[in-house]
Amino acid sequence: MKKIIITGGAGFIGSHVVRRFVTTYPGYQIVNLDKLTYAGNLENLRDIEHNSNYKFVKGDIVDAAFIDELFKNEKPDAVIHLAAESHVDRSITNPLEFVMTNVIGTVNLLNAAKKYWAGNYENTRFYHVSTDEVYGTLGETGMFTEETAYDPHSPYSASKASSDHFVRAYQDTYGLNAVISNCSNNYGSYHFPEKLIPLSIHNIKQSKPIPVYGKGENVRDWLWVEDHARAIDVIFHKAKSGTTYNIGGHNEWKNIDLIRLLCSILDKKLGRPEGESAKLITFVTDRAGHDLRYAIDATKLKEELGWTPSITFEQGLEKTVDWYLANQEWLDHVTSGQYQQYYEGQYTNR
């Protein structure tokens, strides 16, 4: 019997990780710790919320005393840490929020883990989920490997880089059993429509302008979120303490090409004439400090732990578009903020 605290489990990637662990490992107890910010939505986990090996706890990782109590009460064997402020544009407007959650929040969890496990790190694990954005930006060629030097540019990536350094420092200094993975851009179901793919789908559906930053020449390397969750599962169970793995699908797209592809898929699915949705493309002022290109070399993960993506981008994008077309109610709730009332209704009497 293993008890795992998963932080940020009500968010986009976290909900897929929680679902995977709850359903794949009925012998594990999963505690989902989430503050339920604008990005956290318990509707993402409706299908598993009554499973006997799942529990939700509302709380803030910035609150050290609360985290301490949680470790005392729950007695976890492991932590999978995904809670974060995750949107680059928001980090440009409010960097301090990112320092609080991503840096201070992570250090609070590290301190609680160190105190609670008290040097007995055998059969424990602190898994820190990070991003390829810590490596900065690439030119036209090359890829990020686990050896690439950190060079973050946005307040978001600077805060994630800092949290990664703290996790390594706790592993080196105190012997904490820690692993880190750095993943490329994810896409899939339950993705909050402020990020490029869900925002574009949402706007195309409503025939609203699709905002493209700059000339749309920036390149991102896209991975289906369920393949990320599966990689986390593999790394959680197989990686040695102190190791880092890059996760990515060798799937680079210029933003403008990706948006054109989405327009064409949606023209077909919505019965619009080919080319109709592309008329919504609107070039807007570029993001400040906009990284040109990300690309992940995931060779180490493939060779050492045998992970590769399970589906192609075409398959993943098709599934994703279908999901957004079939889940208008979810979209209405997240865009209106109504999902926050779901929590009140579901959990106040428990």
Q: Tell me which residues touch ligand TYD (CB under 6 A).
A: 88, 185, 195-196, 199, 211-213, 218, 220, 255, 287
Angstrom CA distances, 62 to 3, 15, 232, 251, stand at 22, 20, 24, 35
Nearer to ligand NAD, 10 or 212 (CB): 10
Helix, coil or strand: residue 25? coil
| Cβ atoms within 10 Å, residue 96 | 10
**Least distance in angstroms from the C-beta of 270 to ligand NAD:** 26
Q: Token digits for 94? A: 């409010």
- Residue 227 among the catalytic residues: no
Kindly name the residue from 156, 187, 190, 343 that is annotated as catalytic: 156
The torsion angle over the Cα atoms of residues 45, 234, 134 and 170, rounded to 10 degrees, is 100
What, of ligand TYD, ligand NAD, none, does residue 8 touch, CB below 5 to 8 Å by kind?
ligand NAD
Percent of residues in the chain assigned helix, strand, coil, to nearest 5: 45, 20, 35
Shortest-Cβ-distance residue relative to ligand NAD = 11
What, of ligand TYD, ligand NAD, none, does residue 124 touch, CB below 5 to 8 Å by kind?
none
- Angle among Cα 265, 194, 167 to the nearest 5 degrees reads 115
Rounded to whole angstroms, the Cα distance separating 152 from 155 reads 8
Side chain identity at residue 310, one-letter code:
S
Query: Which residues of the chain form contacts with ligand NAD (CB under 6 A)?
Result: 7-8, 10-14, 34-37, 39-40, 60-62, 82-86, 101, 105, 129, 131, 160, 183, 185-186, 192
269 and 209 Cβ atoms separated by less than 8 Å:
no
Nearer to ligand NAD, 117 or 190 (CB): 190
Kindly name the residue from 34, 43, 85, 133 that is annotated as catalytic: 133
Nearer to ligand NAD, 270 or 311 (CB): 311
Nearer to ligand TYD, 45 or 223 (CB): 223
**Least distance in angstroms from the C-beta of 255 to ligand TYD:** 5
What, of ligand TYD, ligand NAD, none, does residue 255 touch, CB below 5 to 8 Å by kind?
ligand TYD
199: CB partners within 8 A, 6+ apart: 193, 210, 211
**Least distance in angstroms from the C-beta of 13 to ligand TYD:** 12
End-to-end CA distance of the chain: 24
- Residue 156 among the catalytic residues: yes
**Least distance in angstroms from the C-beta of 203 to ligand NAD:** 19
Kindly name the residue from 34, 43, 132, 297 that is annotated as catalytic: 132
Nearer to ligand NAD, 7 or 203 (CB): 7
**Least distance in angstroms from the C-beta of 341 to ligand TYD:** 26
- Angle among Cα 224, 227, 232 to the nearest 5 degrees reads 130
34 and 10 Cβ atoms separated by less than 8 Å:
yes
Nearer to ligand NAD, 35 or 124 (CB): 35
What, of ligand TYD, ligand NAD, none, does residue 60 touch, CB below 5 to 8 Å by kind?
ligand NAD
**Burial class for 113, CB neighbours closer than 10 Å (0-12, 13-18, 19+):** buried
- Residue 77 among the catalytic residues: no
What, of ligand NAD, ligand TYD, none, does residue 84 touch, CB below 5 to 8 Å by kind?
ligand NAD
Angstrom CA distances, 198 to 103, 231, 324, stand at 27, 22, 8
Q: Which helix (H) or strand (E) holds 340?
A: helix 339-347
What, of ligand NAD, ligand TYD, none, does residue 196 touch, CB below 5 to 8 Å by kind?
ligand TYD
Which residues belong to the active site?
Answer: 132-133, 156
